[in-house]
Amino acid sequence: MTTEAASQAASHAAEAASHGGFNLVPIVVLLGAAVIAVPLFKRLGLGSVLGYLAAGLAIGPFGLGLFSDPQSILHVAELGVVMFLFIIGLEMQPSRLWSMRGEIFGLGLLQVAVCIGLLTCVGLALGYPVPQSFVAGTGFVLTSTAIVMQMLEERRALGLPKGRRIVAILLLEDLAIVPLLALVAFLAPGGENATLADRLTGVAIGLASITGLILAGRYLLDPLFRLLGKARAREVMTAAALFVVLGAALAMQLGGLSMAMGAFLAGVLLSESTFRHQLEADVEPFRGILLGLFFLGVGMSLDLSVIAANWRLIALAVVAYMVLKMLGIYAVARLFRASSREAVERAVLMAQGGEFAFVLYAAATAVGIIDAEANAILTATIIVSMALTPLMIILHDRLMPRPAPSMEGVEAAENLSASILLIGFGRFGQIVSQPLLGNSCSISIIETDTDAIRNAQDFGFKVYYGDGARLDILHAAGAGEARLVVIAVNDREASLKIAELIKAEFPLVPVLARSFDREHAIELINAGVEWQIRETFESALALGEKALELLNVDEEERERVVEDIRRRDSDRLAIEITDGIYAGRELIHGNAPVKGTPAGPGAAS
């Protein structure tokens, strides 16, 4: 082919792609931005949310300009929030949700009311009319469900009581969007002329949508999934899961309610279904990608020109709204007898405006309460507050580190004396203690988890508070006089540090240690411990021997195979101590050839 012909072919291909082909460039750019930014920001300790926002700003119309219409992405990405709430709903059994009714309609309602009152005062203080001040402040009261849920998930607080209280407030805010939109219509110029019949009709449609969804979930969804399960078509189950989520969201939207609320209700209705875990597994990948896309879209929507032209007003609004909202949240939390620490954490987590503010401001613009410029300024205010939230969380964690554990009912290790010192009383240490106590050995037990110490007391164990990685605690716990020290802590770095400290200070005291994998075992041996055992080694051998028994292998052969594995493992470990973790690989499979390299130290642990 000549150069001219090749050029013409490339030209035709490009023209075909531009007219009829599928353009992959936006998808590749979005995924690439997330892949680069999120790990970088998490490595810097700034969190994934800020990474997505920064990536969206970088590729958006006010960054590199690779996208010109972030709103179109946001419309699709809102499905991420919808699916996130569906998964949260799957974790909320109706009985559990009913038990939260006081927090939803008590705590949540009071927080929303107090914050609306406080934030409306900001607009009034700046000289704006009541309708504009009310809309601007109310939009900021509606917290970002996506950001707070993500933060709670990263902090592993969703299942804790403090996390459930925040979820209850977020649910009330989702419910509140309905009457707030109706109130916006009433506050609009001429809105007060709307008839009572119109308002009652809107309420009736919303209630009908909720009732219909509940009935469908109660009588149709479980039989549907049972029928599809018999077909044994995994892709059909995935399609059905997406159909349920999006169908519930659509039903609520048609009824004038929040899509997220519909998805949450669908999740609740399926929370006691036998297909709950299957549904969660099917929806989770879509939820993760779309939620990330939502944050990217929010970052793209940050209009830098509006911020530059009105930066003083936006800065003042962000500070005033966030400070007043935090004060309102803190006051309500304390009123409901939350600890000061929990109240501060809740205030910091929920200080930002949320995605539903965009809906409220768009509705207010459509009916003439605010103009397009005010909408852009308020939207920028919300987005800036969203971007500040991860930074505020980092600041909160540094200024308010976890408090020292309560020592109530716990004794510190002091002047202990026993033949055996057991360091760590988790699941491993508890089992180790049983044969020793069964042989009437005297044991001193120390542990750093005060809750575990108090729980052990309920079962008749006397456990003292003490950190084995501190030399003064080892002396107080009687390590120097002990005939034996057993290290059973659930922390590989702490375990190694304790072993090194004991062998340096008490070289004549034998040390037995729990190890986590081959690499950790080698480190402990090099530190001087007399004996170590990998925590899963013997249990895994026992399971493997049982498997051979069920395969009708006779007892003598089973014992020979297991003993051969123990011998080869011991020989291999001896080689690895001097020659490195990959030495002696031929011993893993006996006489069988080794193909490739193990995936890592833990692969053949």
Q: What's the pLDDT tens digit per position in 370-384?
A: 887 788 888 889 888
Q: Please state the domain extents for the chain.
A: 71-286+321-366, 420-587
Percent of the chain scored above 90 by pLDDT?
A: 14
Q: What's the pLDDT tens digit per position in 248-292?
A: 888 777 776 667 667 777 777 777 666 667 677 777 777 777 777
The reported pLDDT for the residue numbered 128 is 86
Whether the CB-CB separation of 390 and 49 falls below 8 Å is answered with yes
Residue type present at position 23: N
Q: What's the pLDDT tens digit per position in 168-218?
A: 898 888 777 767 876 777 777 655 455 556 666 766 776 777 777 777 777
- Look at the block and give the residue holding tokens 């300024």: 377
Backbone angles phi, psi at 512, to 5 degrees: -110, 140
Q: What's the pLDDT tens digit per position in 381-398?
A: 988 888 888 888 888 888
Residues 6+ positions from 152 with CB-CB distance below 8 Å: 158, 163, 166, 167, 349
Query: How far is it, in rounded angstroms, from Cα 26 to Cα 358?
Result: 24
Two structure tokens written together for 67: 């996208």
pLDDT at 148 over 60: yes
Whether the CB-CB separation of 136 and 378 falls below 8 Å is answered with yes
Q: How long is the chain?
A: 605
Q: What's the pLDDT tens digit per position in 452-481?
A: 888 888 788 888 888 888 888 888 888 888
Max mean pLDDT range (44-58, 229-243, 415-429, 566-580): 415-429
Considering only residues 226 and 341, tell me which one the structure prediction assigns the higher pLDDT. 341
Residue type present at position 452: A
> Per the confidence metrics, is the pTM higher than 0.85?
no
Q: What is the dihedral of CA 144, 147, 149, 151, to 10 degrees?
A: -140
Residue 160: DSSP 8-state: S
Question: What is the dihedral sign for C-alpha 454, 455, 458, 462?
Answer: negative
CATH of domain 71-286+321-366: 1.20.1530.20
Residues 6+ positions from 109 with CB-CB distance below 8 Å: 172
Cα of 526 vs its chain's centroid, Å: 38
pLDDT at 339 over 90: no
CATH of domain 420-587: 3.40.50.720
Considering only residues 42 and 507, tell me which one the structure prediction assigns the higher pLDDT. 507
Question: What is the dihedral sign for C-alpha 179, 316, 390, 52?
Answer: positive
